[in-house]
Structure 1
Amino acid sequence: MEINIRQWIVSVMILGVLLIGGCAQQDVTSPPANLPTEPPVTAQAPDAFSNLPRLEGKATVQMVINGRPVIIEVDGTNAPITAGNFVDLVQRQVYDGLMFHRVVREPEPFVVQGGDPQSKDPNFGGNLGTGGFIDPATSRERYIPLEITPQGAQSPVYGSPLQSARISQTPVLQHKRGALAMARSQAPDSASSQFYFALSDLEFLDGNYAVFGMVTEGMDVIDGIQQGDRIQSAQVVDGLENFRSNGPS
């Protein structure tokens, strides 16, 4: 009975998060119910994404939140495009001054979400959670593919949650407490700049959302974030030599 109650609570929590964003483009949600029956499974990054930044290895990012540092290991070994996109946005100072617009701790610790560029404007009156990074080179929002590396695989799967791709292996990068992952809409390839920190182990998100990093120091800072708090700064402090600004070398 206790297990059933817990599952009910989690289901209600997920539904609430889904409804908060409405038509937002980068909401953390439960796995979509309308996944295609024959999803594309790509062992290597499609040509459409060949111009995206990549991280070929690992890097360390320091975020300063509420005046205190948070150290994040960004994993480009298992999520090269997702990690490369994040490092690129850090280098562009996109995250400096942005707000954490969604914090969900009840009924159980869930996520802290931020990264909407619209939140930099304190007078913004629209719905936060709907914005992404506008690439000045194209004047369009940059989207990155859903990118998940299954355990034992040589390369990531792109464009499809593992379950719908009929892949039974768990991801290498999992939603453990402190994990850093990309928020997205129900469309798998809709992530842009919004990210979230997992406040607890969230196994039900594994294989559906792209984890690309882990908090190694400062999880107490993450635990203390309140909705409306801002990122003072973010910078790459190690591993920048692994970054490629325009795809693979």
Structure 2
Amino acid sequence: MQLRKLASSFVVLAGLMAGSTAAIAAEPDNTMIITLKGGDVTVALRPDLAPKHVAQIKTLVREGAYDNVAFHRVIGGFMAQTGDVEFGDMKDGYNAARAGMGGSKLPDIQAEFSNENFKRGVVGMARSQDPNSANSQFFIMFDTASSLDGQYTIVGDVESGMELVDAIKKGDAADNGTVSDPDRMIKVRIAADAK
């Protein structure tokens, strides 16, 4: 028994010494699943970093507010933005001219900045110039952008399906990533919910 514990400890220590970056999977209640045209993207939500933002996202997910919402702004090598439930719903009220300007019926959230870094797979909250204006929109990073560190709230990390995020239709770089005929989140759910 002691030998087994020692061997297990050695494996953990060896992983740490080798610079292992394997993350511990989120609990089902903090796992968001985004269904895209190519399959599912699994996001580990981070209430340890941004409890108010994560609570609001989970409320919107459970209301079905994110279903059919467009990726209205996608910049290759940077990020894919979605979550405008007011103007971005491609089945009910999509407004290409206003997508990205709306939020939800819930109140805006005070910033919850952290010391985490914006790197590939990180999910952050979109906002206006006011740091306390995040509401429903979020973005998924294609690559590192240290200029966002400490300026935007991090709410999660992609656990699987990043190749599907990479395949999201890109926007016009000359028009700040605006996408014509954009891809969408077909369905968004929390893993703990039976659906």
Asked if TM exceeds 0.5, the reply is: yes
Alpha-carbon separation, structure 2, partners of 1:197 and 1:94:
18
Deviations 1:44-97 (A, max 9, x none): xxxxxxxxxxxxx97101110114100000010121011111111111111001
- What secondary structure is seen at the aligned counterpart in 1 of 2:191? strand
Alpha-carbon separation, structure 2, partners of 1:123 and 1:91:
20
Shift in alpha-carbon separation, 1:208–1:111, aligned structure 2, 3 A: same
- Verify: 1:65 aligned to 2:23, yes or no: no
Alpha-carbon separation, structure 1, partners of 2:94 and 2:110:
31
Residues 46 and 54 in structure 2, CA contact (< 8 A), matched pair in contact too: yes
- Verify: 1:84 aligned to 2:49, yes or no: no
Partner of 1:148: 113
Residues 58 and 75 in structure 1, CA contact (< 8 A), matched pair in contact too: no
Alpha-carbon separation, structure 1, partners of 2:57 and 2:38:
21
Which sections of structure 2, spanning at least 5 residues, go unmatched?
A: 1-27, 170-178
| 1:124 positional shift | 2.3
Alpha-carbon separation, structure 2, partners of 1:126 and 1:58:
35
- Verify: 1:110 aligned to 2:78, yes or no: yes
| 1:6-45 aligned within 5 A | none
Partner of 1:191: 134
Alpha-carbon separation, structure 2, partners of 1:183 and 1:209:
7
Shift in alpha-carbon separation, 1:125–1:74, aligned structure 2, 3 A: closer
Aligned identity (percent) is 32
Residues 29 and 190 in structure 2, CA contact (< 8 A), matched pair in contact too: no
Kindly provide the amino acid, as one letter, of the partner of residue 212 in structure 1.
V
Alpha-carbon separation, structure 1, partners of 2:38 and 2:143:
23
| 1:176 positional shift | 1.4
Residues 175 and 202 in structure 1, CA contact (< 8 A), matched pair in contact too: yes
Partner of 1:32: none
Shift in alpha-carbon separation, 1:125–1:72, aligned structure 2, 3 A: closer
Shift in alpha-carbon separation, 1:125–1:213, aligned structure 2, 3 A: closer
Residues 71 and 82 in structure 2, CA contact (< 8 A), matched pair in contact too: yes
Alpha-carbon separation, structure 2, partners of 1:185 and 1:66:
29
Residues 58 and 76 in structure 1, CA contact (< 8 A), matched pair in contact too: no
Shift in alpha-carbon separation, 1:189–1:181, aligned structure 2, 3 A: same
- Verify: 1:217 aligned to 2:160, yes or no: yes
Which sections of structure 1, spanning at least 5 residues, go unmatched?
A: 1-56, 136-141, 150-170, 241-249
Residues 58 and 77 in structure 1, CA contact (< 8 A), matched pair in contact too: no
- Verify: 1:176 aligned to 2:119, yes or no: yes
What TM-score comes out, normalization by structure 2 length? 0.73
- Aligned-residue CA RMSD in angstroms? 1.7
Kindly provide the amino acid, as one letter, of the partner of residue 111 in structure 2.
L
Kindly provide the amino acid, as one letter, of the partner of residue 153 in structure 2.
A
Q: Which runs of 4+ in 1 moved over 4 A?
A: none
Partner of 1:99: 70
- Verify: 1:127 aligned to 2:98, yes or no: yes
Shift in alpha-carbon separation, 1:195–1:189, aligned structure 2, 3 A: same
Kindly provide the amino acid, as one letter, of the partner of residue 113 in structure 1.
Q
- What secondary structure is seen at the aligned counterpart in 1 of 2:88? helix
Partner of 2:45: 74
- What secondary structure is seen at the aligned counterpart in 2 of 1:184? coil
